Amino acid sequence: MIERIMLFKLSDPSERDALATAAHALLSQLPDVEELSVGLPADPASEKSWDLSVVLGCASAVLLDQVLTSALFESFLEQTMGGRYVVLKAWSFARVG
Mean pLDDT of the chain: 97
Question: What is the reported pLDDT for 79?
Answer: 94
- 12 belongs to a structural domain: yes
Question: What is the reported pLDDT for 37?
Answer: 98
Nearest to 85 by CA among 54, 56, 55, 64: 54
Question: What is the reported pLDDT for 69?
Answer: 97
User: Is the sign of the CA dihedral 5, 77, 25, 42 positive or negative?
Assistant: positive
Range of the domain at 19: 2-92
Q: Which pLDDT tens digit goes with each residue over 7-16?
A: 999 999 999 9
For 42, phi then psi, to 5°, come to -110, -5
- 44 belongs to a structural domain: yes
Tell me the sheet residues that pair with 10. Answer: 85
Q: Which pLDDT tens digit goes with each residue over 21-55?
A: 999 999 999 999 999 999 999 999 999 999 999 99
Question: What is the reported pLDDT for 97?
Answer: 81
* CA separation for the pair 22, 94 (Å, rounded): 27
- 97 belongs to a structural domain: no
Structural domain count of the chain = 1
- 14 belongs to a structural domain: yes
- 39 belongs to a structural domain: yes
Position 88 pLDDT exceeds 90: yes
- 60 belongs to a structural domain: yes
- 52 belongs to a structural domain: yes
- 72 belongs to a structural domain: yes
* CA separation for the pair 51, 20 (Å, rounded): 9
- Which CATH number is 63's domain given? 3.30.70.100
Cβ count near 4 (within 10 Å)? 20
